[in-house]
Amino acid sequence: MKKDAIKLTQYSHGAGCGCKIAPAVLDEILSAAGQMASFPGLLVGNEERDDAAVLDLGDGSAIISTTDFFMPIVDDPETFGQIAATNAISDVYAMGGKPLMAIAILGWPVNMLSAELAGIVVRGAQKVCHAAGIPLAGGHSIDTPEPIFGLAVTGRVQLDHIKRNRGAQVGDLLFLTKPLGIGIWSTALKLEKLLPGHSGIAETTMLQLNQIGERFGKIRGVHAMTDVTGFGLAGHLLEMCRASDVSAHIEVQKIPLLHPALFDYIRQGCVPAGSGRNFTGTQGEVLVEHPEWRDIVCDPQTSGGLLIAVDPDAADEMKSLLRAEGLPDVPIGSILEKGTPIIQFIVDGSNEV
């Protein structure tokens, strides 16, 4: 089969971070695993679902360690490798750190897809690692029923620059650095409903490194930070609110969207299964006034943006930095005293769909 005729998305049952295990099932797995043993110097483990683990080196800095991998979200093998690498490295940036090196994780159905295609996937990851200023230093591969690719990434951060999903404070403003809609867009592609003029839009966003997170780490007014991936904006904001013992109010008309056509694709049934799982995992704690906005805020993102809780006194500095990088600079909501529901997504009457 010719390389150009291969459609990688047809070889996987899910796409990108939409493959994530549902939050409720993950809770069951972690519960069965039991309490992780304490370890000297471990500053961040899995207690509050942070983006990466952090280990104190004893010299004022810490090592960041993370891994992320998934099945194809696009058909082109090199782009798949680039997106998977960009997504994995993002966890280091989400902690306010600087990546140091990466190693690859490759699962490949060798009887169905050629070794050459796998090499092209790895080549894509090498390009992203080069852009991030780090080596792709090796990895591990196995024969799997579906193609899987990702990275394990090591980074470093100064102790006073570590950002966690914990720490959001009442009055903080919430910023989101990338638009939502990746899961819906990729589902439209998989269902062959994506209009020709819409190809490449999602890839452009997914290939954008979240390098700005390292700079956010140095801003004292940034109280909490995480990246928005498989659990969607609603799920990752809920993790932030739970960890910080606060609530949040989001004005949906201020949320950056991949494209206005998202609503058309939702009406055509291009909603990933992960959206429903994500919503189920937030029921009782998240209020969304409109079902189509629910599909958007619960949409699983792949290589999504950073969600940042910022002291209002640091808002001008944040906006200036975002604007200089061409990123969305309008706050999408704010942090409130803890209440019920924990998060409210409010649809302005003038913006109903």
> Active-site residue among 17, 129, 270, 298?
17
Q: How far apart are CA 42 and CA 174, in angstroms?
A: 28
The DSSP code for 303 is: S
- Joined together, the tokens standing for residue 137 give 């230093």
Taking residue 60's Cβ as centre, other Cβ atoms within 10 Å add up to 9
Cis amide leading into 341 (omega within 30) = yes
214: nearest Cα among 204, 205, 228, 227: 227
- Joined together, the tokens standing for residue 338 give 């803890």
Residue 241: active-site member: no
Burial class (CB in 10 A: 0-12, 13-18, 19+), 35: exposed
Residue type at 74 in one-letter notation: V
Bridge partners (DSSP) of residue 344 are: 249, 287
The helices-and-strands tally (H runs, E runs) of the chain is 11, 13
Q: How far apart are CA 150 and CA 128, in angstroms?
A: 12
CB contact set of 251 (below 8 Å; sequence gap of 6+): 332, 333, 346, 348
Taking residue 208's Cβ as centre, other Cβ atoms within 10 Å add up to 18
CB 174 within 8 A of CB 308: yes
Residues recognised as catalytic: 17
